[in-house]
Amino acid sequence: MRINLSLEQLEAFVELAAVLNFRAAAARLGMSQPALSRSIRLAEQTLGARLFDRDTRRVSITATGSELLPVARRILHDFDEALSELGEFIHGRSGQVTVAALPSTGVALLPRAIAAFRQRNPQVTFALLEASAEALLAAIENGRADFGLSVRPAPHQRLHYRHLHDDPFVLLCPKGHPLAKQTSASWSVFAAHPFIAAVPTSSVRPVTDTVFLQKRIAIRPTLEYPSAAACGALVAAGLGIAALPQMTLCLLDMQALAAVPLQRPVVARPIGIVTRIGRSLPPVSRTFLKTLSA
């Protein structure tokens, strides 16, 4: 049988059981004595049993009251604990942050931000999704990720972009290559050397294709690489040179490689925080974004 006692009634009962005095219990609860008496009377009516014996001089708890007391205390304690946990969640101090990131941004930007955030909020958990730009933006659109660290989405996508970082392009070549000795290089050098290009679905390929088109440089890639690590290995093997965002270098073994700043023009891959329009972020993700932006 379900017994419908309210939290207010249980609180009134526990307080009165602690002091066995209506006036003192009412004062501790911040309510009037008649209101306390009414709350106890309604609880007794619901239970169909007296909780306290009272006369003009004293109040004593009944056997039913003694049986109810530990149950009531446990219910109130569990309720307070649950509200405390909810408060931690609402204030962004608990919960899970799910981030989708490009391989380079996941390595270059996330670890220190997560470490700093976890120092202050050790109960927060993180789930990291690593993907190409196309798959990453799809994960944000379908709700598998709270937000992403990626390039600017296309206008037709229901995504919001907040700029975070400009990631300048560099020329990647073997250390023994003549270009490795230069302090900077023009994009036109790619017309004179075998060019290793990113696959079309990457965040790099649209940028390099746009530069070559604007500079009217006809480039036919000698190879296409599926990942930054593969690019580094192909370049180190002497199969060609490549154009990569500087942040990507953290994914490479640079012992046999050299990176030369690309100029004429200076080009950067924009990296920002991508969220889905119309979807509220979990409080913990909003709080983490402040750390990430800093």
Are 144 and 172 contained in the same domain?
no
**Range of the structural domain that residue 285 is part of:** 99-162+271-293
Do 79 and 10 meet the contact criterion of CB atoms below 8 Å apart?
no
Verify that 171 and 261 share a domain, yes or no.
yes
Short-list 56, 54, 55, CA closest to 65: 54
CATH of the domain at 221: 3.40.190.10
Q: Let me know whether 154 and 173 are in one domain.
A: no
Cα separation, 18 vs 41, in Å, equals 17
**Does 2 map to a domain?**
no
Which of 60, 90, 120 is the endpoint of a domain?
Answer: 90
Cβ atoms within 10 Å, residue 36: 21
157 and 275 together in one domain:
yes
pLDDT in tens, the chain (294 residues): 567 889 999 999 999 999 999 999 999 999 999 999 999 999 999 999 999 998 878 999 999 999 999 999 999 999 998 888 888 888 888 999 999 999 999 999 999 999 999 999 999 999 999 998 889 999 999 999 999 999 999 888 899 999 999 999 999 999 999 999 999 999 999 999 999 999 998 889 999 999 999 999 999 999 999 999 999 999 999 999 999 999 999 999 999 999 999 998 999 999 999 999 999 999 999 999 988 888
The C-alpha angle 113, 119, 122, rounded to 5 degrees, equals 110
pLDDT given at position 53: 93
Domain contains 192: yes
pLDDT of residue 90: 86
* Strand duo 196-198 + 223-225: pairing: parallel
Residue 118 within any structural domain of the chain? yes
Bridge partners (DSSP) of residue 60 are 53
In-domain check, residue 1: no
DSSP the chain: ------HHHHHHHHHHHHH--HHHHHHHHTS-HHHHHHHHHHHHHHHTS-SEEE-SS-EEE-HHHHHHHHHHHHHHHHHHHHHHHHHHHHTTSSSEEEEEE-HHHHHHTHHHHHHHHHHH-TT-EEEEEE--HHHHHHHHHTTSSSEEEESPPPTTSSEEEEEEEEEEEEEEEETTSGGGG-S-EEGGGGGSS-BEEE-TTSSSHHHHHHHHHHHT-----SEEESSHHHHHHHHHTTS-BEEEEGGGGGGS-GGGEEEEEEESS--EEEEEEEEETT-PPPHHHHHHHHHHH-
Query: What pTM did the predictor assign?
Result: 0.75
Q: How many domains does the chain have?
A: 3
| 193 is a domain residue | yes
